[in-house]
Amino acid sequence: MRLIRLVIGMIIAFSLVFVAGLFLVPGERIAQVAADELGRRTGREVRIGGEARFTLWPDLGVTVDGLRIANADWSDNGPMFQAQRVTIGVDAAALIRRDIRIRTLHAEAPQILLERNADGEGNWEVGGKAAVAATEAQPSGAAPAATAAAPVQRPAFTIDDAVITGASVYFADHRTGTEVSQRDIDLTVAYPEARGPARIDLTLRPNGAPIRLSGTIADPRAFAEARISPVVFDLEAPSASGRFEGRASVGPEAEGALSLDIADTGALARALGRADPGLSRGLGRDLDLAAQVTLTRVGLLALREGRMSSGGNAATVAADLTTGGPRPRLNARVDAGPLDLSALTAGGAPASVSGGGAARSGWSTAPIDAGSLNRLDGEIAISAPSLDLGTTEIGQTRVLVTIDRARAVATLRELRAFGGLVTGEFVANNRNGLSVGGDLRAADIALDQALTELAGVTRFTGSAAARVRFLGVGQSVAAIINSLSGDGGIDTGRGTIRGIDLDRLFRGGDPSGGTTIFDETRATFSMEDGVLSNTDLLMTLGGIEARGEGTVGLGERRIDYLFTPVSLKARDGRGIALPVWIRGPWSAPRITVDVEKAIQLNAAEEKAAFEQKLRDRVRDELGIEQRDGESTEDALKRTLEEEARKGLLKLFDR
């Protein structure tokens, strides 16, 4: 408000002093008197570094070169305002009536420095009480007011055409360390009728491309004095347009209806001098927004009745954004319809490589940019009836995302997936390099759907409950998977394993190609450096008990697992075990029976009987007498030692 008064005071000072001395003193002297008058009104030193030129027709005007207005005495950063050239043209007849009708006001390449010191004082707060009183007083040479209490009669003030070209504005807040600068600014203002509306046309070029804001202020005087005025503004920018219609002031504060239509957020970000966020179509690359917004003087931006859409995705939004501090803080609630998020996985499928005669897939090594985690703090509650992730579909979802100093925690309040329910926490931390982790629990999960869509494993069916804690570090999916550590467990009910027939295996046939039906499964596991290890798999099925141990290379997508089913009723209830190796890429592993290990596990009794029979035969052939408590091996050893001793004695007898 005081900055606008400064501009108006400058115009009044130059105009009145110029008229008063036009026919009495030279032009340079008139310009200096005007500068002195402006300095008196503002309390700031005003200098004119170049010449001053005057015109009488078609308007009464003055052009000065090198105009400079000093900064506040607490700043040493140079003048607050300086311009190569300033031209002011006024209506002489209106000026005689003590009205200020500005026909033209042109400023070429002005440089404006705005600062706020550590105490919160702005350098635009020009003049003390004396200077403020001077702006309210009558012009120099006029008779003083009759009484101090008499109301000040301000002259009518209008502007036909005010044009600023090539302006530079620099703002520095020394309390918060905030610095903002804009160059190559163009501004046009028209205020043709006193107490009428003002038309504004502002063009900014943060990165070269023009961003234009145009509109109407219904009550410019109220707007300039930080009081509310009805306003309408239209925005035109690369790949974007918008409109605000409501009330506002230079407080800054605003309230009204906002609409935005952005065809390409990347193009808009580049025009604003920001990095392209790299959003996909349907996920913010294109964006339509309509909402009621409120901006308060303390920096709170509130959004209500928001309707947002991108592609075929739509949601209602309510949000509060608080500025100030090291990062903005956002508290928001997003209630979405069915969301298509398939663009998140489109094009990100791992490339196929060959190895070992079978195809296997590798994880993506594309760098993950998690820098956005450090740009915002807050809490965002999101709900949606369904999520299409491209590789899988998720049902009803309720998630609370909390972001604090580059660490985001997604609390899964409800996530219906694979026929069951997933709850827990997922964490992404970018405070010192990217790491991801979680503590998740799942119930009633359909194994066939989950393993097929998540890992490409199609052999298992059944319902499962699982738990997992994990942590991975790295700047790509491949790095994270290969660094995974943690632990977990799984319990299943009745299900099947396709591709292996244990019943056929025990009958001596080929176990591959069939199906095994099991009653339940229990297992725990640990992870280290991207390798999952298990030693306690237990699976029970009709008359068969199966155990397992081995590793699954999550990073390499390979499996090396020994699965050992035992037929409990075979061999008259003594049982028979047939160990099976499952090895190779987990999408197409080789399944083979370990014959050597099978013999070791199943022929223990036969081996013991054969060894005993051999010992008895050796004892009988050699005539060995076995003493009480002595084994056949010990008796044989003793006999050989005795015979050797006898042979040595015979040598000495000779």
What number is the average pLDDT over the span 54-71? 80
Which of the 8 DSSP states describes residue 643? H
Q: What was the pLDDT predicted at 654?
A: 44
Is 235 in contact with 246 (CB distance < 8 Å)?
no
| Percent share of the chain, pLDDT over 70 | 72
What number is the average pLDDT over the span 206-229? 90
Residue pLDDT, tens place only, 112-148: 998 988 887 888 776 544 444 444 444 444 444 444 4
Residue pLDDT, tens place only, 575-597: 577 788 889 998 788 888 776 77
Strands 329-336 and 313-322: antiparallel
Q: What was the pLDDT predicted at 337?
A: 94
Using DSSP's 3-state secondary structure scheme, residue 238 falls into coil
Q: Could you tell me the pLDDT band of residue 513, with boundaries at 50, 70 and 90?
A: low
What number is the average pLDDT over the span 37-54? 76
Q: Looking at the predicted structure, is the pLDDT value of residue 303 above 70? A: yes
Element (H, E) at 399: strand 393-404
Q: What was the pLDDT predicted at 626?
A: 63
**Would residue 117 count as lying in a domain?**
yes
Residue pLDDT, tens place only, 332-374: 999 999 999 887 766 444 333 333 333 345 788 888 888 888 8
**Would residue 212 count as lying in a domain?**
no
What number is the average pLDDT over the span 437-445? 94
Residue pLDDT, tens place only, 600-618: 666 555 555 555 655 666 5
d(CA 103, CA 158): 8
d(CA 205, CA 272): 8
- Which of 425-434, 577-586, 629-638 is predicted least confidently? 629-638
**Would residue 380 count as lying in a domain?**
no
Angle at alpha carbon of residue 352, lines to 348 and 355, rounded to 5°? 150
d(CA 439, CA 447): 20
Q: What was the pLDDT predicted at 605?
A: 57
pTM exceeding the 0.95 threshold for the entire prediction: no
Is 212 in contact with 231 (CB distance < 8 Å)?
no
Is 598 in contact with 581 (CB distance < 8 Å)?
no
- H-helix segments, 55-155: 92-96, 129-136
Q: What was the pLDDT predicted at 578?
A: 77
**Would residue 226 count as lying in a domain?**
no
Q: How many structural domains are present in the chain?
A: 2
Q: Which domain holds residue 632?
A: 609-653
**Would residue 554 count as lying in a domain?**
no
Strands 229-237 and 198-204: unpaired
Residue pLDDT, tens place only, 198-208: 999 999 999 88
**Would residue 61 count as lying in a domain?**
yes
**Would residue 232 count as lying in a domain?**
no
Q: What was the pLDDT predicted at 546?
A: 84
Contacts of 334 (CB under 8 A, 6+ apart): 315, 316, 317, 380, 381, 382, 383
- What tokens does 474 get? 């790295």
**Would residue 409 count as lying in a domain?**
no
